[in-house]
Chain A
Amino acid sequence: MALWKPDPSFYPSARMAMQAPPERHAYVAALNYGRNDQPDGIRVVDLDPHSPSYGEVVNALDLPHLDDELHHFGWNACSSALCPYAPHPHLERRYLVVPGVRSSRLYIIDTKPDPRRPRIARVIEPEEVMAKSGYSRPHTVHCGPDAIYVSAMGSANGDDGPGGIFLLDHFSFDVIGPWEIERGDQELAYDFWWHLAEDTLVSSEWAKPRQFEDGLVPEDLLGQKYGHRIHFWDLRKRKLSQTIDLGAQHQMVLELRPAHDPRKTYGFAGVVISTEDLSASIWLWHRKDGEWRMEKVITIPAEPADPDDLPPALKDFSAVPPLVSDIDLSLDDRFLYVSCWGTGELHQYDVSDPFNPKLAGKVVIGGIVNKAPHPRSADPLLGGPQMVEISRDGRRVYFTNSLYSTWDDQFYPDRMGGWMVKVDVDPDGGIQLDPDFFVDFGETRVHQIRLEGGDSSTDSFCYPS
């Protein structure tokens, strides 16, 4: 465990991390909840173009329990270990912290000695997670400078209490406890990230467990009961400092992508759907006169559709909503990728001027109506661009097609399977599907991707680019 020099995958700045060698493999969350009594697991996909097994699953790690429902996961340590106030650069980026969002179980998965044969190092049972953290349904994992931060969708005592964030010890993986000291009126949880140099944590709102575990609740959506606020927290004092309501029509504020350069005090948030016109939107948060502000910088409209082509949940609307479910920002803070899971499109925006994003590229695949195929897929594809991950150098983008078990079944009711594709990026803007890269996971669905050595939604940097 004791390294003499810092882990070579830690970089002081995002700009330096872009010089990192290309990733050779990916870890992908594989889901079998509600189907064929198989456990979830982690799949290792070969990303080395010189390897004979390029674009294939080279290893499958199955979990010992059923129905964990993996969703997001993260590394135990990353570039934030170099942050100056409590540096521990000799920690290894080695373990994946993998929560089961349905079971509330936490798996610590060791990627050494053979990174292509990960194995389970520790299992923290749901009882322990809930008793010590006060929360259930763990979701997003971020490697902080002082601990591992994990967001959780629900309280430990069922559905009534607030979701929030808890801490895991960096070294032992013991659950330390809830993070918040003063939460104000924050109740719904989902994603979070931070501006480390500003001592600010940002968190978003999805829903309560009863609003998502058995599927999207249409009455709650039309009643505007899903989350529509963003919270800004004092990272140091662990208390809520400001809340911005985007408006009740903007339902489900999900992924948060702050600028990677610590000198920049802005970031992007994705909103899944507007109850007014089914559009999706991207919002920019930024600071002005000491206050955080938010404004809508991208609107993606719904597309008219024949009700016969739509699943029961959408028939009445005669339109297919874009359903922006994930966004991701390249390490140079230049390109924002936006997954339109409903319409089956991945958008690339040039956000060099964050207030005026420009559509720079687009890829079409899957989609509720179009079901656009991949050059290497036999049939029309179900599902659409969902969890996006960008390589550190910004040249390659990977994405998978599953959102969440019960929601997949509502929007893609024809037994959607899992697939993962790759997109090549033109350095000046523009994207295209790699026609040779198509990973078919069969009936197993796939969610978050983590790349070897880090990617664009893992590491936080304390030094300017």
Chain B
Amino acid sequence: MLGPIGPWLAMLGFGAFHGLNPGMGWLFALSLGLQQQRERVIWLSLLPIAAGHALAISLAVVLVLLGLRVASLPTLQWITAGVLLLFGLYKLFNYYRHPRWVGMKVGFRDLFLWSFLMATAHGAGLMVVPALLGVAAGMESGHAGHAGHGAPGGGGMLVAVILHTLAMLLVMGTTAWFVYRKFGLAILRQQWVNFDLIWAFALLAAAGIAALMAL
């Protein structure tokens, strides 16, 4: 669609989108800093949150790599579109459900786990599979001469995950900074749009993209 850079842009865009979602981490980091009255806590907390998110996305990479071993790219794209459609529909009617988590006294390990749990349960990894497949396809065609390569596109996808996570981290940090320094918590009351519902639509949009890619 956008040529070879399309999937890369999608990975970055999804990273920004995931980072903006208050339920994916920046709000948790902000609240910990406020509670402990140490601004540094906000910025440090973002790191394990980003790492947990990256792990969830990497899990999607592993699934894609395994899938590529047993199925053709178009088949995988169709399967992805189907799964995303079903999950998106489920989230559309259950957008408000979160994995059970109670606890604000959290260390880095907890934040890492929490972030992994939230990203996985909400399908953050699943959402980027079409883009990952695009990256893999691009790498494969780019390296057509290298026959017998063990993991086609594996390295490329890993770079894509890193870019995705960096974009997420940047947007999380920027958002937290603006809320902490400029707007204050009152903005939560006025500007917190229903991100969970948008998320469900994003999953459905990703399903559409996967289907288009398969066609």
Chain B residues, CB < 8 A from A5: 190-194
Cα distance, A86 to B193, chains bound together (Å): 15
A462 at the interface (CB under 8 A from B): yes
Q: How far is the CA of A464 from the CA of B32 in the complex (A)?
A: 10
- A73-86, CB under 8 A of B: which get 1 and which 0? 00000000011111
Q: Known contacts A5-B190, A464-B34, A464-B35: does B27 contact A87 (CB below 8 Å)?
A: yes
Interface centre among B99, B189, B193 (most CB of A within 10 A): B189
B188-212 near A? 1/0 per residue, CB < 8 Å: 1111111011000000000000000
Residue pair A197, B104 in contact (C-beta under 8 Å) = yes
CB distance from A314 to the nearest CB of B (A): 44
Q: Which of B30, B31, B35, B188 contacts A89 (CB 8 A)?
A: B188
B154 contacts partner chain A, Cβ-Cβ < 8 Å: no
Q: Does B186 contact A (CB under 8 A)?
A: yes
On whether the beta carbons of B185 and A16 are closer than 8 Å, the reply is yes
Pick the contact of B96: A10, A88, A145 (CB < 8 A): A88
B178 within 8 A of A: no
In the bound complex, do residue A196 and residue B104 qualify as a contact, i.e. CB atoms below 8 Å apart?
yes
By beta carbon, the residue of chain A nearest B34 is A464
Known A2-B197, A171-B96; contact A86-B192, beta-carbon cutoff 8 A: no
A88 CA / B192 CA spacing, docked (Å): 10
Shortest Cβ distance from residue A208 to the other chain B in the assembled complex, whole angstroms: 29
Rounded to whole angstroms, the CA-CA distance of A197 and B28 in the bound complex is 11
7 residue pairs A–B, Cβ–Cβ below 8 Å = A12-B188, A16-B186, A84-B28, A88-B96, A146-B98, A198-B105, A463-B185
| SS class, residues of chain A in contact with chain B | loop
Q: For chain A residues 146-182, which have a beta carbon within 8 Å of chain B?
A: 146, 170-171
Distance in angstroms between the alpha carbons of A263 and B23 in the assembled complex: 22
A145 touches B102 (CB 8 A): yes
Is the Cβ of A85 less than 8 Å from the Cβ of B28? yes
The answer to whether B186 and A12 have CB atoms under 8 Å apart is yes
- Give the Cβ gap from A20 to chain B, nearest Cβ, in Å: 11
Contacts of A145 in B (CB 8 A): 102
Interfacial residues, chain B to chain A (CB-CB below 8 A): 22-23, 27-28, 30-31, 34-35, 37, 95-105, 114, 185-186, 188-194, 196-197
Q: Name A236's closest neighbour in chain B (CB-CB).
A: B103
* CB-CB nearest in chain A for B21: A87
Q: How far is the CB of A170 from chain B (nearest CB, A)?
A: 8
Q: How far is the CB of B25 from chain A (nearest CB, A)?
A: 9
Identify the 5 closest CB pairs spanning chains A and B, nearest first. Answer: A84-B28, A86-B98, A12-B185, A236-B103, A84-B27
Complex alpha-carbon distance, A374 and B122, angstroms: 57
Residues of A close to B96: CB separation below 8 A: 88, 90-91, 170-171
Contact of B23 among A6, A87, A198, A463 (CB under 8 A): A87
Query: What residues of A have a CB within 8 angstroms of the CB of B189 in the complex?
Result: 6, 8, 10-12, 16
Contact A90 B196 (CB under 8 A): yes
Task: Tell me the minimal C-beta distance from B17 to chain A in angstroms.
Answer: 17
A235 contacts chain B at the CB level, 8 A cutoff:
yes
In contact, B114 and A13 (Cβ under 8 angstroms): no
* Count, chain A residues at interface, CB 8 A: 37
B34 to chain A, nearest CB (A): 5
Residues of A within 8 A of B (CB): 2-6, 8, 10-13, 16, 82-91, 144-146, 170-171, 196-199, 235-236, 262-263, 462-464
Residue of B nearest to A9 (CB): B189
Contact A199 B192 (CB under 8 A): no
| CB pair A84 B31 closer than 8 Å | yes
Taking CB as reference atom, which chain B residue is nearest A462?
B31
Set of chain B residues within 8 Å of A84, measured between Cβ atoms? 22, 27-28, 30-31, 104
| Cβ contacts under 8 Å, B100 to chain A | 86, 146
Q: Which residues of A contact B23 (CB under 8 A)?
A: 86-87
Cross-chain contact of B103 among A3, A199, A463 (Cβ < 8 A): A199
Return chain B residues, CB-CB under 8 Å to A262.
35, 104
Please name all residues of chain A whose beta carbon is closer than 8 Å to the beta carbon of B190 when the two chains form the complex. 5
Instruction: Tell whether, in the assembled complex, residue B197 and residue A236 are in contact, meaning their CB atoms are under 8 Å apart.
Output: no
Instruction: Report B123 CB to chain A, min CB distance, Å.
Output: 16
Bound form: Cα–Cα A307–B20 in Å? 70
Are A82 and B188 also in contact (CB < 8 A) when A87-B27, A463-B31 are? Answer: yes
Contacts A13-B185, A85-B104, A85-B114 known; 17 new A-B pairs at CB < 8 A: A2-B197, A3-B194, A4-B194, A8-B189, A12-B185, A12-B189, A82-B188, A84-B22, A85-B28, A86-B23, A86-B98, A86-B101, A90-B96, A90-B197, A198-B105, A263-B37, A463-B185
Q: Is the CB of A85 within 8 A of B103?
A: yes
Distance of A200 from chain B, by nearest CB (Å): 9
Contact of B105 among A2, A4, A6, A199 (CB under 8 A): A199
A145–B35 Cα distance when bound, in Å, is: 17
CB-defined contacts of B99 to chain A, threshold 8 Å: 86
For B37, list chain A residues within 8 Å (CB): 263, 464
Tell me the complex Cα distance, A144–B103, Å. Answer: 12
